[in-house]
Amino acid sequence: MWIRVLMAAAMLSGCSYSHLYGEEMRGVQIEQRHRVHVVRHSKDERAIDTMIARRLAQAGFSATLGPEAEGVPDGVDAVVSYEDHWMWDMSNYLLVLRIDFRDPETNELLASGQSYHTSLGRKSPDYMVNEIITEILTEK
Amino acid sequence: MAGRLQLLPSLGLVMLFGCTLHHTPKSFELDEPWPSLTASEPVAVRLGDAPSGKRTIKLAGQSMTLDLREYTRALVERVEAALTAQGVAVASGATKNIELEVTHANILPGAGNNHCVVDFTVRTSGGYVKGLQARAESMDPQKACNAALSRAALTCVSDAQFRAYLASGGS
H/E element, A67: strand A62-67
Determine contact, residues B34/B85, Cβ cutoff 8 Å.
Answer: yes
Determine contact, residues B78/B70, Cβ cutoff 8 Å.
Answer: no
Lowest mean pLDDT among B1-5, B98-102, B157-161: B1-5
Residue in A5, A98, A118 closest to B60 by CB: A118
pLDDT digits (tens, 9 = 90+) for A52-80: 999 999 999 999 999 998 999 999 999 99
pLDDT digits (tens, 9 = 90+) for B83-132: 999 999 999 999 999 999 999 999 998 777 899 999 999 999 989 999 99
Q: Which of B82, B83, B120 is nearest to B101 (CA)?
A: B120
pLDDT digits (tens, 9 = 90+) for B139-150: 999 999 999 999
Interface with chain B: mutation pick from A3, A109, A135, A139, highest number of B CBs within 10 Å: A109
Contact B129 A25 (CB under 8 A): no
* Res B102: pLDDT: 96
pTM for this model (two decimals): 0.87
| pLDDT confidence bin for B6, thresholds 50/70/90 | low
Distance of residue A83 Cα from the nearest chain B Cα, in angstroms: 10
Question: CB contacts < 8 Å between A and B, how many?
Answer: 72
Which of chain A's residues have a Cβ under 8 Å away from the Cβ of B12? 2, 5-6, 9-10
Region of B167 please: left (phi>0), alpha (psi -120 to 50) or beta.
alpha
* Res A41: pLDDT: 93
Contact B130 A106 (CB under 8 A): yes
Residue in B58, B121, B129 closest to A19 by CB: B58
Residue in B61, B111, B119 closest to A17 by CB: B61
* Res B14: pLDDT: 47
Neighbours of B36 (CB within 10 A): 9
pLDDT digits (tens, 9 = 90+) for B20-70: 889 999 999 988 889 898 888 999 999 998 877 888 888 877 889 999 999
Work out whether strand A62-67 and strand A35-40 pair parallel, antiparallel, or are unpaired.
parallel
Which chain A residue has the Cα nearest residue B107?
A114
pLDDT of A8 above 70: no
* Res B2: pLDDT: 53
* Res B145: pLDDT: 97
Which chain A residue has the Cα nearest residue B113?
A85
pLDDT of A109 above 70: yes
Q: Specify which residues B117 forms β-bridges with.
A: B106, B135
Region of A107 please: left (phi>0), alpha (psi -120 to 50) or beta.
left
- The residue among B4 and A95 whose pLDDT is bigger is A95
B11-15 average pLDDT score: 48
Distance of residue A108 Cα from the nearest chain B Cα, in angstroms: 4
Between CA B99 and CA B65, with CA B107 as vertex, the angle to 5 degrees is 75
B61 — contact with chain A (CB < 8 Å)?
A: yes
Residue in A9, A102, A114 closest to B106 by CB: A114
Residue in B12, B109, B131 closest to A9 by CB: B12
Q: Which of B161, B23, B11, B13 is nearest to B98 (CA)?
A: B161
**Complex ipTM > 0.90:** no
Which chain B residue has the Cα nearest residue A109?
B131
